[in-house]
Amino acid sequence: MRGTVFNIQRYSLHDGPGIRTTVFLKGCPLRCWWCHNPESQSCRHEIMVFKERCQACGICEKKCPEKAISIEDSFIDINNEKCNLCGLCTDLCPNNVFEYVGKDMSVQEIMKEIEKDEIFYEESDGGVTFSGGEPMIQVDFLNEVLRLCKERGFHTAVDVSGYGAWENFKKVADKVDLFLYDLKFIDDEKHKKYIEVSNELIIDNLKKLSEIRANIYVRMPIIKGINDNDEDIDESIKFLSQLNILQVNLLPYHKIGMDKYKRIGMEYKLSGFERPSDEKINEIAMKFNKAGIKVKIGG
């Protein structure tokens, strides 16, 4: 069994308790306007282009077997319709203009990478986190890696959007020590606008995980001018107060992933928005605290 991975991050401190290895699986059904991993959205392999590194040497243009690369007036472009993702350009370029995104790995290959950091898990009460994208898209692969992680005694966390079949959650639930569950809006119309899907399935799955007493950290991105207002926060508190969750993590919006969009040929829809102030984030945190909900600022 093989899965598609786009990154394995070691010594991760923001994806669950302790020191963790985070495995990022490719593919996501959501299109969040502020997604900081746009290269995670497509299930297929892709090539990211760092155009600012290009010295217009022409090697890639001459050697590309599909003639998918063109350089004009020192400006490099790649035609994704022609590109067959052979990866030759990533090997040839002396300036690392091209970065291949996506690697098919077996369960055993993933486990070898995870096991390298076993000592850190033991010393820090850490473990392994599966993120994305949306790891539930590759649920059979995820389930098998989780099974082997539990056999090894590794603490497991899965970072999910909640947008998937409940049957998939049931399949993995007994192997997941902690769900990191993203919740953006309670308001469905806002969810459709900024995430491009309804949130009905997300809310329903969160309720069901709560009912089976799964361990849940709810992760809420906070975006100035979009969901940091009293109405959205109050609706979230009212809903979450009814559930069995361990804590809420408030994640202030940042622009770290913005440059990735142009590198992968996508539009960044949140230009002009800024990080909410520390004062605002603390005010929101106090509201959760007053409602009796444990809250943490950050991952």
CATH for 11: 3.20.20.70
What pLDDT sits at residue 226?
93
209 token code pair: 């995980």
Task: Read off the pLDDT of each residue in 3-8 and give the average, rounded to a whole number.
Answer: 96
Task: Return the biggest CA–CA distance within the chain.
Answer: 64
Entry pTM: 0.93
Q: What is the pLDDT of residues 212-223, one digit of tens each?
A: 999 999 999 999
Question: Based on the domain organization, do 87 and 182 belong to the same domain?
Answer: no
What pLDDT sits at residue 136?
96
What is the band of 46 on the pLDDT scale with cuts at 50, 70, 90?
very high
Question: Based on the domain organization, do 16 and 160 belong to the same domain?
Answer: yes
141 token code pair: 């692969």
Question: Based on the domain organization, do 182 and 281 belong to the same domain?
Answer: yes
Question: Based on the domain organization, do 76 and 168 belong to the same domain?
Answer: no
Check which CATH number belongs to the domain holding 93 and give it: 3.30.70.20
Question: Based on the domain organization, do 75 and 128 belong to the same domain?
Answer: no
Is the pLDDT at 275 greater than 90? The verdict is: no
Bond before 153 cis per omega within 30 degrees: no
Question: Based on the domain organization, do 89 and 108 belong to the same domain?
Answer: no
What is the band of 251 on the pLDDT scale with cuts at 50, 70, 90?
very high
Q: How many domains does the chain have?
A: 2
Question: Based on the domain organization, do 85 and 157 belong to the same domain?
Answer: no
For residue 60, how far is the Cα from the chain centroid?
A: 31
What is the band of 255 on the pLDDT scale with cuts at 50, 70, 90?
confident
Question: Based on the domain organization, do 16 and 61 belong to the same domain?
Answer: no
Question: Based on the domain organization, do 91 and 64 belong to the same domain?
Answer: yes
CB-CB contact of 42 with 26 (8 Å): yes
Kindly state the percentage of the chain with pLDDT values over 90.
90
What pLDDT sits at residue 232?
96
For the chain, the straight-line distance linking the first and the last C-alpha, in angstroms and rounded, comes to 31
Question: Based on the domain organization, do 260 and 192 belong to the same domain?
Answer: yes
Task: Read off the pLDDT of each residue in 240-250 and give the average, rounded to a whole number.
Answer: 97
What pLDDT sits at residue 272?
78
Instruction: Give the domain-ending residue among 83, 101, 119.
Output: 101
Domain that holds residue 138: 2-43+103-297
Question: Based on the domain organization, do 7 and 75 belong to the same domain?
Answer: no
Question: Based on the domain organization, do 176 and 37 belong to the same domain?
Answer: yes
Task: Read off the pLDDT of each residue in 131-136 and give the average, rounded to a whole number.
Answer: 95
What is the band of 80 on the pLDDT scale with cuts at 50, 70, 90?
confident
What is the band of 257 on the pLDDT scale with cuts at 50, 70, 90?
confident
Q: What does each C-alpha distance from 249 to 182, 221, 245, 277, 297 come to in angstroms?
A: 9, 8, 11, 16, 6
What pLDDT sits at residue 254?
87
Is the pLDDT at 137 greater than 90? The verdict is: yes
Altogether, the residues listed in the chain come to a count of 299
What is the band of 270 on the pLDDT scale with cuts at 50, 70, 90?
confident
Task: Read off the pLDDT of each residue in 23-44 and give the average, rounded to a whole number.
Answer: 95
What is the band of 273 on the pLDDT scale with cuts at 50, 70, 90?
confident
Bond before 3 cis per omega within 30 degrees: no
Is the pLDDT at 274 greater than 90? The verdict is: no
What pLDDT sits at residue 155?
97
Instruction: Give the domain-ending residue among 69, 86, 101.
Output: 101
Long-range own/partner contacts, residues 7-12 (CB < 8 A, 24 or more apart): 8/110, 8/113, 10/116, 10/117, 11/117, 11/120, 12/129
Task: Read off the pLDDT of each residue in 179-198 and give the average, rounded to a whole number.
Answer: 96
Task: Please provide the average confidence, as pLDDT, over all residues in the chain.
Answer: 95
Task: Read off the pLDDT of each residue in 134-154 and give the average, rounded to a whole number.
Answer: 97
